[in-house]
Chains A and B, each alone.
Chain A
Amino acid sequence: MLVGIQLETRQTQRPSGPEIANEMSTYLQTVASERCKASFAEIFHYFAPRVRSYALKQMKNEAQAMELVQETLANVWQKAHLFNAEKGSPSTWIFTIARNIRYDMLRKQQKRKEDICSEDMWPVLCEQTASDAEVSLDHQVTLEQVGQLFSGLPVKQKAVIEAIYVEGKSQQEVADELGIPLGTVKSRTRLALQRLREMLEKDD
């Protein structure tokens, strides 16, 4: 492996800036094409302490910081083929991987049911699976269906909803017109909306 030998001889004097970027790009390409462990070790020794420094500022504790470092560098090893030198430098690529993993780790910790994941927003390591891409879209409810749902409401609720939402009347007007207390109009409206919502959710 000619490239590797050449680069190793430069070890003693660390270049900086664009030279580092070129050197690391070459290592990444060698990892991608030959699974070269020596090249990955070079990348690891250069980046692991840097990613860790970033991780220590971002995460709550040392253990999480190390997890972030491990995840980031593991992705570099496993997905080196996705690095594209034309799109940016190795350090930008590795930073964006770390940023994404950090985002997903924090999201999990919040224990919220958030469904958004980092690759939606920052497609750094994007390899979509066939099944993801082929899911079809058949969740629409047509106007006709909505009409059907609406007609499924109890008559009294339907009258109130129609008067308020279609004819634009006030609740008081509806109460006067139907000769029922305002409170009844309010509760019928609430029940009807609740019912419609349930039907819409079930329908889907």
Chain B
Amino acid sequence: MIKLHPNSQQLSEFAQGQCDSGVALIIAAHTDMCRQCKQKLTLIEAELAREAMAEKSSPDPAFDTMLANILQMPAASGIEVSYKQKKLELDGKEFVLPRSLQRYADKINGWSHLPGKLWQARVDLGIDGRADFTYMEKGGSVPEHTHRGTELTLVLDGEFSDGIRNYDTGDFIERSCDHVHTPHTEADEGCLVFSILDKPLHFTSGIARLLNPFSQLFFK
């Protein structure tokens, strides 16, 4: 069951098209998976529309030309192609992606195997920061770390824990420099997440601290 959702502020900014693209994409993916947020979004959009469409600008002579121009345009073909659901494949497993992430399955620059039974595939979104699909095998973990910026994570499949709490499929997780965590999974099927990170990870404990100079591997 999904317990963690974007807050109202985030949903509202998303509905207005005001948040950063990476953030918007991960919120969109969450709403694809979460009926509750989808309904909220519909209400927010209706309210925004009511506000935005309440005011009229003064009449403009350019409108007549505009109307005439538009009426010259042909109708778009009404053919809707049923779309084939794309799957993400890794190590013999297949994952169905939320609609908004489907297009990015093609943009994966290959999976890298990282220490700790982790697989990571960066997605080039052209945004500041980075976006990744990360797959943790059963028993896999990321060394304890915190963030210099904000990390948004969406659980796409499976579940994991980070020493703070447990996360289930569909959960939307926000982590910042206030949190030190150690994500790991014991789920048999492992766990696939999508995350957006605006600054490198900062490893905090033991031998993993030595990874800090290399955290560009996690954040290239």
A60 interface contact, C-beta 8 A? no
Instruction: Give A57-102 interface residues, CB cut-off 8 Å to B.
Output: 66, 69-70, 73-74, 77-81, 87-89, 91-92, 94-96, 98-100, 102
B220 interface contact, C-beta 8 A? yes
Given A77-B73, A143-B91: A171 and B110 within 8 A (CB)?
Answer: no
Q: Judging by beta carbons under 8 Å apart, are A41 and B67 in contact?
A: yes
Chain A contact residue count (CB 8 A cutoff): 80
**A49: chain B residues within 8 A (beta carbon):** 56-60, 63
**B55: chain A residues within 8 A (beta carbon):** 50, 53-54
When chains A and B are docked, how far (Å) is the Cα of A92 from the Cα of B111? 41
Q: Judging by beta carbons under 8 Å apart, are B126 and A88 in contact?
A: no
**A166: chain B residues within 8 A (beta carbon):** 115
Nearest-neighbour CB distance to chain A for B26, whole angstroms, equals 10
The binding surface of chain A is classed by DSSP as helix
A133 interface contact, C-beta 8 A? yes
**B96: chain A residues within 8 A (beta carbon):** none
**B84: chain A residues within 8 A (beta carbon):** 133-134
**A153: chain B residues within 8 A (beta carbon):** none
Chain B contact residue count (CB 8 A cutoff): 73
Nearest-neighbour CB distance to chain B for A178, whole angstroms, equals 16
Which partner residue on chain B sits nearest A193 by CB separation?
B217
Given A121-B100, A168-B207: A74 and B46 within 8 A (CB)?
Answer: no
Nearest-neighbour CB distance to chain A for B119, whole angstroms, equals 8
Q: Judging by beta carbons under 8 Å apart, are B110 and A139 in contact?
A: yes
A-B pairs with beta carbons under 8 Å apart, 5 shown: A99-B48, A122-B17, A126-B80, A139-B110, A170-B207
- Given A77-B71, A88-B46, 12 additional A-B pairs, CB 8 A: A47-B53, A49-B57, A53-B56, A54-B53, A66-B66, A69-B66, A74-B73, A78-B73, A95-B48, A116-B127, A137-B106, A200-B110
